[in-house]
Amino acid sequence: MGKKILCIAEPRQIPQEKMVAVTKKLREEISQALGDGFGIFQAALNSGVGLTSARLIAELRDTQHPDIFLELVAAAPKDSLKLPDEVRSLANGIRTVEVERGRNRVYLLHRSMILVSARVIVVSGGQEDDEMAPIMDYAIGIGKDVRYIKP
C-alpha cells in the first residue's frame, strides 16, 4: 500500500501576531500525521502561509523523517516558474494546477489537493468571513478526515 496523502489548506493571509500559535499547531498536526502513517504532504503556493507549512515539513524530512515526500502545488504553470531557488529546494516535487485568476482561485487550488488526500488540515484565516469555510465544507462533504486550526 502506498503512503497516505495529506494536504494543508491555508488562507492567503493570517495576522502576523497569530503566526507563532498557528505554526505550533501545524507542527503538532504534522507530527500526528506522521505517526498515523502519512508520508506525502501537499502545500499550496498561494501565500507565505503555505511556505510556513512547507518549511515545517521540509525541516522534519531533513532532520527526522527522510521518507517524507513534499509536493508544492502552484495555481498555474507560470507561477511555478517564478519560484525562488530557496522555495524550490524545499520540495521533492512541484505540481501545477490550471486555475483561472479570480475569486475562486484559492478554492479551486485547494480542491484539487483535497481530492487526492486522505486527511486535510484546514488553517483558518481568523476572520469572520473566512475564505477557508467553503474549503473545509467541501472536504467534510466528500468524507475527508479534516483537522481544523484556528488562530
Per residue in 69-110, pLDDT tens? 999 998 776 655 677 888 889 999 988 887 777 667 778 889
- Domain-embedded: residue 37: yes
- Domain-embedded: residue 128: no
- Domain-embedded: residue 129: no
3 state SS of 41: strand
| Cα–Cα–Cα angle for 67, 68, 72, rounded to 5 degrees | 145
CATH of the domain at 72: 3.40.50.450
The most confident of the ranges 37-51, 89-103, 130-144 is 130-144
Domain count, the chain: 1
- Domain-embedded: residue 1: no
- Domain-embedded: residue 3: no
pLDDT of residue 99: 73
pTM: 0.89
- Domain-embedded: residue 93: yes
User: φ, ψ for residue 68 (rounded to 5)?
Assistant: -60, 135
- Domain-embedded: residue 117: yes
Q: What is the pLDDT of residues 2-24, one digit of tens each?
A: 689 999 998 877 888 888 999 99
| Cα–Cα–Cα angle for 120, 151, 73, rounded to 5 degrees | 40
Handedness of CA 146, 80, 93, 22 (dihedral sign): negative
How many CB atoms are located within 10 Å of the residue 82 CB?
A: 9
Give the domain extent around 38: 8-123+138-149
- Domain-embedded: residue 2: no
